[in-house]
């Protein structure tokens, strides 16, 4: 279940950064052309990986429920902490991205 | 649609009350008739068609609520809910009497 | 409604939300608590000892007890222990108790009757959530209609919300209505799948009751429909011929041989000791999302042969059972259950923020004139009583559970009476005090009442946190820690409400009230 959460959280972060407004606010510069597209694709890819992890963990029915639960939780954490601890959240997203594959492979 | 309750003409208040009734009772009639229609015509075993009919009926209720408050006048709100209910009801009635004379 | 579709929907959102908001707040809060119904019941009945889970042993003990104490009863009911419910509950018809029904709690290992305090525990909040303590069927109808209005509120909210995708990740804390609106929108949108699921599924759960037309059009009556869909629940008559019943643990073993995955939570035994005895095993459906209503296996009690088992359900049955299961979350493990709990709180918060905004927006308009129209004051009082008042009432229930004498006649009802008594008192308090003060005082009292609950538990039962945490009793410790955490949250909000400087104390009370109220909604 950790893998689902990590992929979902990293995916949320990528999709948020894929928006011009949030990108410049969070990273302090304008996104280069194409960068937002890459981020958007990466975001959806990460969510797809979260889905795969969820289905493998608990099958389609419970897996989808878990995915939605963790995804909504990730979104809430991201959105409500963003005005207060943006750097902390970026760090957490990067950490999730790094740890997620290891968690999915059962290494942690 | 001013939000303050005070100082509104009586006709406006009556129109709002009329729309509420249209949504509440008209909407229920529409939902029930739509549910019955689905339960009778869906190509499923009878018990399943009944379940699908009941489950979908609430979407019609929801739609009726939105229609009742979105239409231009209270009369249109009633018309838009009662007319389809009557049509569906007629079809249902015919189906019912054909099926069990 | 000439101003266009979106304005009309905003109007509907505003007024449906206001009129049903107070009721929905209570429904959502008690429903959220019900995700921990067994834990609340466990806390409410601390006498029931926790034992290692052993279903065959529990079945044998329950049968022994019923044989000894209710041998002549026409029906037996057994609620088995599980990971979250430590005791066995047995019941039978035919006594002098309430409506001839007797219920006892047994020790899961010894089968001895546990003298528990009389309480409704978590079941009270669970029942209130959809019956509202009203007579059947009115409470269920009202609660189901409130669910429809929640659905209307959600859909009209989505239509009204102009920048649902553009502001998807937006939350701007700051002063004023903006904060409330952003908060309301963000919790509403981010947790939208849960909100939609929970409101629509409540309609599906009660569809047999509130939308019987499709059934009546196709069947002679509802019973014949239920028989066709579920079956297997028909009553059997006694033959009058005695026959010893098979041991329940043996029947259970036979059942597991057929359905190794089955987790049984409930048994109904008809005509025990008769040749026609029937034993129905009902699974708890925890291993999957879709709950099959009417699932079960029925054995002939005398010879132990399988008399009936539920058919595999159809796709339509899986879908409606899926909504049922998603709503009840019995499939959810601890982590997912906590998520359900938080999303339930999120739904409660969406309703609460909406109510606060309705008032705040209108109070701003009247701030300059210095008077508050009657209807705004009414909404203010109802807001306070329905939110902080309910929080106080819940605390009142738990305090009553620990402080009422164990032997009190009608004790369980007294707990409920105190719940409503505290709620009523909070309404009176809100009537007498100016808005912001009333919020602050009620929340401060709630903070005190909730944070002190673990202490009260420790003093009255000897199962306080100093025992439950070292002993690994996480249901007990979890309850205490959760109420303590909630209490801290209330303390924080109370401090915010009370700390804000009250401007111009010298004005006449009526004139002075309005500016506070304006500040209140900041």
The answer as to whether C334 is a domain residue is no
* Contact call for C8 and B51, based on CB within 8 A: no
User: Mind spelling out the 3-state secondary structure of chain A?
Assistant: CHHHHHHHHHHHHHHHHCCHHHHHHHHCCCCCCCHHHHHHHHHHHHHHHHHHHHHHHHHHHHHHHHHHHHHHHHHHHHHHHCCCCHHHHHHHHHHHHHHHHHHHCCCC
The answer as to whether C336 is a domain residue is no
C222 shares its domain with C259: no
* Contact call for A66 and C191, based on CB within 8 A: no
> Among all residues of chain C, which has the CA nearest to that of B47?
C229
Cα separation values, C480 from A5, C288, C451, C487, Å: 27, 30, 9, 11
The answer as to whether C223 is a domain residue is yes
Strand ranges across the sheet with C88-93: C101-106, C88-93, C75-79, C264-270, C278-283, C297-300, C306-309
Distance CA A43, CA A50 (A): 11
Distance CA C491, CA C479 (A): 18
Q: Give the nearest partner residue to B51 out of C14, C320, C373, using CB atoms.
A: C320
> How many distinct structural domains can be found in chain C?
3
C267 shares its domain with C293: yes
* Contact call for A72 and C191, based on CB within 8 A: yes
Instruction: Indicate the pLDDT class of residue C504, thresholds 50, 70 and 90.
Output: very low
C141 shares its domain with C96: no
Show the domain range for A70: 2-104
Among the candidates C309, C335, C356, a domain finishes at C309
- Name which of A80-94, C363-377, C424-438, C460-474 the model is least confident about: C363-377
Residue range C95-107: mean pLDDT, rounded: 78
The single residue listed with the structure tokens 């975001």 is A43
Q: Which residues of A touch C340 (CB under 8 A)?
A: 69
* Contact call for B50 and C148, based on CB within 8 A: no
Distance CA C278, CA C264 (A): 16
Cα separation values, C281 from B7, C179, C234, C412, C426, Å: 63, 53, 14, 29, 46
Does residue A67 contact residue C339 with C-beta atoms inside 8 Å? no
The single residue listed with the structure tokens 């958007």 is A40
Task: Please state the separation of Cα C152 from the chain's center in Å.
Answer: 22
* Contact call for A76 and C187, based on CB within 8 A: yes
**pLDDT of A86 above 50:** yes
pLDDT at C285: 80
> Among all residues of chain C, which has the CA nearest to that of A68?
C193
ipTM: 0.96
Instruction: Indicate the pLDDT class of residue C293, thresholds 50, 70 and 90.
Output: confident
User: Of the candidates C502, C345, C394, C468, which has an alpha carbon nearest to the alpha carbon of residue C124?
Assistant: C394
Does residue C175 contact residue C496 with C-beta atoms inside 8 Å? no
**pLDDT of C509 above 70:** no
B71 backbone dihedrals φ, ψ, rounded to 5°: -75, 160
pLDDT at C43: 97
C162 shares its domain with C241: no
**pLDDT of A54 above 70:** yes
C87 shares its domain with C213: no
Average pLDDT, chain C: 90
Q: Which chains touch A (3 or more CB pairs under 8 A)?
A: C
Residue C339 forms contact with A (CB below 8 Å): yes
Contacting residues for C145 by C-beta, under 8 A, at least 6 apart: C210
Residue range C342-347: mean pLDDT, rounded: 98
C285 shares its domain with C400: no
Residue spans of beta strands (DSSP E) within C295-425:
297-300, 306-309
**Residue C498 CB coordination number (10 Å):** 15
Q: What is the pTM (predicted TM-score) of this model?
A: 0.92
Instruction: Indicate the pLDDT class of residue A45, thresholds 50, 70 and 90.
Output: very high
Instruction: Return the residue in B19, B27, B58, B77 with the most chain C beta carbons within 10 A, the one to mutate for interface testing.
Output: B58
Ramachandran class of C292: left when φ > 0, alpha when ψ lies in -120 to 50, beta otherwise: beta
Q: Give the nearest partner residue to B55 out of C1, C207, C225, using CB atoms.
A: C207
Among the candidates C231, C259, C286, a domain finishes at C231
Distance CA C282, CA C286 (A): 12
**pLDDT of B5 above 80:** no
Burial of C481 (C-beta count, 10 Å sphere; 0-12/13-18/19+): middle
Does residue C443 contact residue C493 with C-beta atoms inside 8 Å? yes
**Residue C92 CB coordination number (10 Å):** 24
Among the candidates C259, C289, C309, a domain finishes at C309
> How many distinct structural domains can be found in chain A?
1
C20 shares its domain with C98: no
Cα separation values, A85 from A82, C167, C169, C312, Å: 6, 19, 14, 51
Domain boundaries, chain B: 25-99
Show the domain range for C290: 52-115+232-309
Q: Which residues of C touch A22 (CB under 8 A)?
A: 169
Instruction: Indicate the pLDDT class of residue A47, thresholds 50, 70 and 90.
Output: very high
């Amino acid at each position: 279940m950790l893998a689902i959460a990590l992929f979902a959280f990293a995916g949320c972060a990528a999709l948020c950064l894929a928006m011009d407004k949030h990108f410049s606010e969070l990273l302090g510069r304008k996104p280069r052309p194409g960068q937002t597209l890459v981020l958007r694709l990466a975001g959806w890819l990460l969510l797809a990986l979260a889905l795969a992890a969820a289905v493998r963990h608990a099958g389609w029915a419970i897996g989808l429920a878990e995915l939605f639960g963790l995804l909504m939780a990730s979104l809430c954490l991201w959105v409500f902490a963003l005005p207060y601890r943006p750097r902390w959240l970026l760090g957490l997203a990067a950490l999730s991205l790094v740890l997620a594959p290891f968690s999915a492979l059962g290494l942690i | 649609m001013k939000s303050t309750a005070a100082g509104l003409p009586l006709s406006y208040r009556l129109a709002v009350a009329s729309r509420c009734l249209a949504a509440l009772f008209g909407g229920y009639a529409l939902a029930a008739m739509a549910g019955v229609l689905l339960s009778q015509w869906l190509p499923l075993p009878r018990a399943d068609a009944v379940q699908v009919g009941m489950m979908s009926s609430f979407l019609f209720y929801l739609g009726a609520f939105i229609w009742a408050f979105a239409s231009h006048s209270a009369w249109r709100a009633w018309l838009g809910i009662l007319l389809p209910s009557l049509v569906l009801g007629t079809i249902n009635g015919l189906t019912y009497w054909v099926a069990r004379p | 409604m000439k101003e266009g579709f979106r304005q009309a929907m905003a109007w509907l959102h505003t007024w449906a939300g206001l009129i049903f908001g107070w009721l929905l707040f209570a429904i959502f809060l008690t429903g959220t608590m019900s995700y921990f119904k067994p834990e609340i019941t466990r806390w409410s009945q601390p006498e029931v000892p926790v034992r290692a889970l052993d279903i065959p042993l529990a079945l044998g003990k329950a049968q022994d007890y019923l044989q000894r104490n209710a041998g002549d009863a026409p029906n037996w009911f057994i609620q088995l222990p599980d990971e979250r419910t430590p005791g066995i509950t047995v019941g039978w018809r035919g006594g002098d108790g309430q409506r001839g029904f007797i219920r006892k709690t047994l020790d899961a290992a010894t089968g001895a009757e546990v003298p528990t305090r009389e309480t409704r525990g978590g079941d009270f909040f669970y029942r209130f959530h959809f019956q509202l303590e009203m007579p059947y069927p009115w409470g269920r109808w009202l609660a189901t209609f409130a669910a429809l209005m929640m659905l209307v509120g959600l859909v009209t909210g989505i239509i009204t919300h102009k920048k649902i995708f553009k502001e998807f990740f937006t939350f701007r804390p700051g002063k004023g209505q903006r904060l409330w609106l952003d908060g309301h929108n963000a919790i509403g949108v981010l947790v939208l799948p849960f909100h939609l699921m929970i409101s629509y599924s409540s309609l599906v759960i009660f569809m047999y009751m509130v939308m019987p037309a499709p059934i009546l059009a196709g069947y002679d009556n509802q019973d014949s429909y239920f028989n066709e869909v579920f079956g297997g629940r028909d009553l059997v008559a006694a033959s009058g011929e005695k026959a010893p019943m098979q041991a329940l643990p043996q029947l259970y073993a036979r059942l597991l041989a057929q359905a190794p995955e089955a987790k049984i939570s409930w048994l109904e035994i008809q005509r025990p000791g008769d040749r026609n005895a029937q034993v129905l095993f009902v699974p708890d459906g925890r291993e999957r999302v879709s709950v099959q209503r009417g699932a079960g296996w029925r054995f002939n009690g005398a010879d132990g042969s399988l008399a009936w088992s539920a058919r595999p359900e159809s796709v339509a049955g899986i879908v409606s059972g899926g909504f049922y299961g998603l709503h009840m979350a019995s499939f959810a493990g601890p982590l997912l259950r906590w998520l359900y709990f938080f999303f339930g709180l999120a739904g409660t918060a969406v309703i609460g923020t909406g109510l606060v905004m309705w008032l705040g927006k209108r109070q701003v308009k009247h701030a300059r004139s210095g008077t508050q129209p009657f209807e705004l004051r009414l909404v203010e009082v109802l807001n306070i009583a329905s939110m902080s008042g309910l929080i106080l009432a819940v605390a009142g229930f738990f305090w009553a559970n620990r402080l009422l004498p164990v032997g009190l006649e009608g004790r369980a009802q007294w707990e409920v009476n105190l719940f409503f008594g505290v709620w009523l008192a909070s309404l009176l308090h809100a009537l007498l005090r100016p808005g912001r003060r009333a919020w602050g005082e009620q929340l401060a009292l709630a903070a005190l009442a909730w944070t002190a609950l673990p202490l009260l538990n420790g003093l009255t039962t000897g199962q306080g946190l100093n025992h439950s945490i070292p002993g690994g009793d996480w249901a007990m410790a979890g309850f205490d820690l959760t109420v303590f955490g909630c209490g801290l949250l209330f303390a924080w909000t109370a401090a915010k409400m009370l700390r804000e400087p009250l401007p111009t104390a010298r004005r006449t009370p009526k004139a002075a009230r309005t500016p506070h109220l304006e500040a209140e909604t900041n």
